[in-house]
Amino acid sequence: MAADHQSDHPLAGRRFLKMNGLGNEIVVIDLRGTVFRVRAADARAIARARGSFFDQLMVLHDPVSSGTDAYVRIYNTDGSEAGACGNGTRCVGWAVMSDAEMGQGSDRALVVETKAGRLPITRLSETVFRVDMGPPKLNWQDIPTRDTFFDTSGIELQIGPIDDPILHTPGVVSMGNPHAVFFVDDPYRYDLERFGPLLENHPIFPDRANISLAAVVRPDHIILRVWERGAGLTRACGSGACAALVAAVRRDLAAREATVSLPGGDLIIAWREDDGHVLMTGPTELEHEGRFEASIFGTAG
């Protein structure tokens, strides 16, 4: 009876694509045409299963708003939902435009919707996509922070001794999810795996936060490492790269367009002056496809 119950799980046998954007591990599932919603326990089970580990799980649903091609729910490895994932959104663009079973063929553009709003995706080449991530949110209530900060380009937050802090005064930005960006000389000199969880869960961030260490090498080049909320240390974070550029521009450290170098590779980020939208351009890669075995959901409930 237990095996029969497992085989009835709506995701049992469901096809998935295992992709990455600059090494940011992405799994894409198409649930359009169904009413099923992935539960937090389902997402955790998929992340534990062989062949389907992810940093973010991108789940396609039928469109909610007119003028969009799909509604996308985004899950972290701990089962929590995210409002945005730039690298994952590029992977969704490839899946819908290129994959024979999931896609629409040779279309060059589409619009998906997430909790963060509409995200237009443009195909620039076979594997390179640009996502319009929309305008950043800079007011403390919208990021959000617990405390009132009239200037979020640098807030009062530090790690270490008060007279000699290890990290301090991050810029905070929401790109559909909250980010805190600390500017340092070398992001690789700091134990982000140690500080990341402490800062992600700091009481000042009621919805938790993504934590970034950024070094501005030149106005057009930023080196970045990101501890992602709900996922941990990842090789790339598209929304984090967007937040880093916005935070750097607000501190007069960078130009409005720059290459952001992450452990997994480079993204081109531009913060348009005319409408305030942030554009992210970068590659995608299909690693493999598979189908979920019913057994992985045996403990998901």
Q: Is residue 261 part of a domain?
A: yes
Residue 25 domain boundaries: 2-121+285-297
Q: Is residue 293 part of a domain?
A: yes
Query: Is 98 in the same domain as 178?
Result: no
Q: Is residue 255 part of a domain?
A: yes
Query: Is 109 in the same domain as 21?
Result: yes
Q: What would the pLDDT profile of 193-248 be if each residue is shown by its tens digit? A: 999 999 999 999 999 999 999 999 999 999 999 999 999 999 999 999 999 999 99
Q: What would the pLDDT profile of 18-69 be if each residue is shown by its tens digit? A: 999 999 999 999 999 999 999 999 999 999 999 999 999 999 999 999 999 9
17, 85, 242, 246: which is the annotated catalytic residue? 85
Query: Is 263 in the same domain as 190?
Result: yes
**How would you class 256 by CB atoms within 10 Å of its CB: exposed for 0-12, middle for 13-18, buried for 19 or more?**
middle
Question: What confidence category does residue 106 fall into, taking pLDDT thresholds of 50, 70 and 90?
Answer: low
Catalytic-residue membership of 85: yes
Per-residue pLDDT, 7: 60
Query: Is 16 in the same domain as 102?
Result: yes
Q: Where are the beta strands (DSSP E) in the chain?
A: 15-21, 24-30, 56-61, 70-76, 81-82, 109-114, 117-123, 128-132, 158-159, 167-168, 171-174, 178-183, 210-218, 221-228, 232-234, 257-262, 265-271, 278-283, 285-291
Tally Cβ neighbours within 10 Å of residue 265.
16
Query: Is 290 in the same domain as 235?
Result: no
Query: Is 87 in the same domain as 183?
Result: no
Query: Is 116 in the same domain as 166?
Result: no
- As a dihedral over the C-alpha atoms of residue 79, residue 85, residue 87, residue 91, rounded to 10 degrees, the angle is 70
Cα–Cα nearest to 136, from 182, 171, 169: 171
| Parallel, antiparallel or unpaired: strands 278-283 and 128-132 | antiparallel
Q: Is residue 262 part of a domain?
A: yes
Give me the number of domains the chain comprises.
Answer: 2
Q: Is residue 19 part of a domain?
A: yes
Indicate the DSSP class of residue 45: H
102, 214, 237, 254: which is the annotated catalytic residue? 237
Query: Is 242 in the same domain as 291?
Result: no
Per the DSSP assignment, residues forming a β-bridge with 259 are 221, 268
Query: Is 60 in the same domain as 32?
Result: yes
Query: Is 291 in the same domain as 251?
Result: no
Q: Examine the pLDDT at 105 and tell me if it is beyond 70.
A: no
**How would you class 246 by CB atoms within 10 Å of its CB: exposed for 0-12, middle for 13-18, buried for 19 or more?**
buried
Query: Is 116 in the same domain as 178?
Result: no
Q: Examine the pLDDT at 2 and tell me if it is beyond 80.
A: no
Per the DSSP assignment, residues forming a β-bridge with 110 are 121
Q: Is residue 145 part of a domain?
A: no
Query: Is 255 in the same domain as 290?
Result: no
For the chain, counts of helices (H) and of strands (E) = 5, 19
Check which CATH number belongs to the domain holding 92 and give it: 3.10.310.10
Cα distances from 124 to residues 128, 242, 258, in angstroms, run 5, 19, 18
